[in-house]
Amino acid sequence: MKKITPFDTIAAISTPPGEGGIGIVRISGNTAFEIIEKIFKPHRKKGISDNLKSFTMHLGYIKEKEEIIDEVLVSLMKAPHTYTREDIVEINCHGGAVAVNGVLRLVLKNGARLAEPGEFTKRAFINGRIDLSQAEAVLDIVRSRTNKALEAAVNQLKGKLSGRIHNLICVLKSVLVVLEANIDFPDEEDVSPLRLKDIQKKIDSVKNELASLIASYDTGKIIRDGVVTVLSGKPNVGKSSIFNAFLRFDRAIVTPIPGTTRDIIEEQLNINGIPFILADTAGITDSDNVIEKEGVKRSRTYMDRAQLILVVFDGSMDFDERDIEIIDRAKTLRWIPIINKIDLPIKLNPEKLIQETGMNQDFVYLSAKNGKGLSELEKRMTDMVASGDAGGDYSLMITNARHYTILEKTLEELGHASDTLDVNGEPELVAYDIRSAMDIIGEITGEVTNKDILDEIFNNFCIGK
């Protein structure tokens, strides 16, 4: 079996499977140009080796002996000014599984091997074109659900997070230089004296910056993964109608029969760039029906894991004990109360319900039938996220759980350094904590890392990226 080395030539299909206008086979490595020269016959008389100018495209055929596999456009990109900093060839085929797979098979037959998941981006990292946080941003761009998620990922790819981390490391390094100079050369005249207050001030500035980044994670995770939002209420209050009104099409079955919804229905909703994972649930009630009981059980479970609950009341009927039970469950969480069916005569008394339950939320008045009040509800939902009630301000975001954990560990190490300064100010102990903090935070950009972490990160990528 051929031994796989870190820098052999790799190839993969870089476009989604299925029919499409174009399918791209990407090749990267030292022999990429040699391989394409073997299998590509340009329309012009001269061979491709006569014009290996970077960033050029060539029209011709991919051939296996005399059999034409496909008519293609071949893009040539010379190292080091490429995605991987290696020679890259991209073969633009006609979209379709047979043609694209036929070209890939021929490329592999002529010396390349099939790329592993994320290996093109991994090589970009190994070869120093991007750091680890930028590599992770590539995956976030691919998986972005909204414009805000895309914006956050692009900022990270541009090096916004890397720059912040680099600045923090520089501050810690300046502290470490002073500490080590006083440890190694305590009696030298040209060594700056150890001013513990100045050191503490610098450490505190880094700690404050870390705390700010950590605080952004809840919102960053929301922007990246979405706000789990549950429609809750007793049967027949109009949850499924509201669900359909949000989506602008009939996704959930709506009937006048209470208990129509028995299971959880989920759809993604994009409101002003914020993704909401909207779940329609079974009406909460007491029932002897086995299926309905299971639906109610799942509804309660979803309420417990929700980041936002939309509690729906039927405005055409007075409230009862079931409504009170739902409020008692929801009011310890983030929630918005909705009085639905305002297109009918209103019989529910909001003031009495507030007195009965002690709730302190303003109602949204809504008609799922004609859409009145829906824009106000959407505004309340996005305002709750933006204000921090559902996760914080999204002007600055850490979106990655790995980064969040590393920042917390770094902050903890700097806390140890601060404690040492308060107790005895021993420079050796403070220096140890500073070094440890620098090693930990360096894992974000990949300055300090190991193979297992790299494999875990890049295995989440698709093959071809």
Average confidence score pLDDT of the chain: 82
Residue 283: pLDDT band with limits 50, 70, 90: low
**Which tens digit of pLDDT belongs to each residue from 90-119?**
999 998 889 999 999 999 999 999 999 999
Does position 284 have pLDDT exceeding 80, yes or no? no
Nearest to 164 by CA among 217, 96, 213, 230: 213
Does position 290 have pLDDT exceeding 80, yes or no? no
pLDDT on residue 143: 82
Residue 258: pLDDT band with limits 50, 70, 90: very low
Does position 261 have pLDDT exceeding 50, yes or no? no
**Which tens digit of pLDDT belongs to each residue from 349-369?**
888 888 888 887 889 999 988
Helix, strand or coil, per DSSP, at residue 387: coil
Cα 250 from Cα 41, distance rounded (Å): 53
Residue 26: pLDDT band with limits 50, 70, 90: very high
pLDDT on residue 301: 67
All structural domains of the chain with their residue ranges:
10-115, 135-216+399-458, 228-386
Does position 5 have pLDDT exceeding 50, yes or no? no
More confident residue, 125 or 46: 125
CATH for 135-216+399-458 is: 1.20.120.430
Q: Where is average pLDDT lowest: 252-256, 296-300, 353-357, 402-406?
A: 252-256
More confident residue, 279 or 52: 279
The partner residues of 276 in beta bridges, in order of sequence, read 227, 269
More confident residue, 185 or 312: 312
Across the range 17-22, mean pLDDT stands at 82
pLDDT on residue 234: 83
- The reply to whether domains 135-216+399-458 and 228-386 share a CATH topology is no
DSSP-assigned letters across all residues of 334-377: -EEEEEE-TTS-----HHHHHHHH---PPPEE--TTT-TTHHHH
Residue 192: pLDDT band with limits 50, 70, 90: low
Strands of the sheet containing 88-94, edge to edge, are 40-42, 56-64, 67-77, 88-94, 22-28, 10-13, 113-114
**What's the start-to-end Cα distance of the chain, in Å?**
25
pLDDT on residue 386: 65
pLDDT on residue 45: 66
Cα 262 from Cα 282, distance rounded (Å): 5
pLDDT on residue 233: 84
Cα 203 from Cα 99, distance rounded (Å): 59
- CB-side neighbour CA atoms (13 Å) of 365: 10
Does position 249 have pLDDT exceeding 60, yes or no? no
Residue 287: pLDDT band with limits 50, 70, 90: very low
3-state SS of 154-199? HHHHCCHHHHHHHHHHHHHHHHHHHHHHHHHCCCCCCCCCCCHHHH
**Which tens digit of pLDDT belongs to each residue from 390-401?**
444 444 578 888
Q: pLDDT over 70 for what percent of the chain? A: 84
For 434, phi then psi, to 5°, come to -65, -45
Q: In this structure, which CATH number among 3.40.50.970, 3.40.1350.10, 3.30.1360.120, 1.25.60.10 belongs to the domain 10-115?
A: 3.30.1360.120
Residue 260: pLDDT band with limits 50, 70, 90: very low
The overall longest dimension of the chain from CA atoms, in Å, is 89
- The reply to whether omega before 80 is within 30° of 0 (cis) is yes
What's the helix, strand, coil split of the chain in %, to 5?
45, 15, 35
pLDDT on residue 263: 54
Q: pLDDT over 90 for what percent of the chain? A: 37
More confident residue, 450 or 196: 196
**Which tens digit of pLDDT belongs to each residue from 302-339?**
666 778 889 999 989 888 888 888 888 777 778 899 99
pLDDT on residue 282: 65
Does position 75 have pLDDT exceeding 90, yes or no? yes
Residue 3: pLDDT band with limits 50, 70, 90: very low
**Which tens digit of pLDDT belongs to each residue from 398-455?**
888 899 999 999 999 999 999 988 887 788 898 999 999 999 999 998 887 777 778 8
Across the range 213-218, mean pLDDT stands at 85
CATH class of the domain defined by 228-386? alpha beta
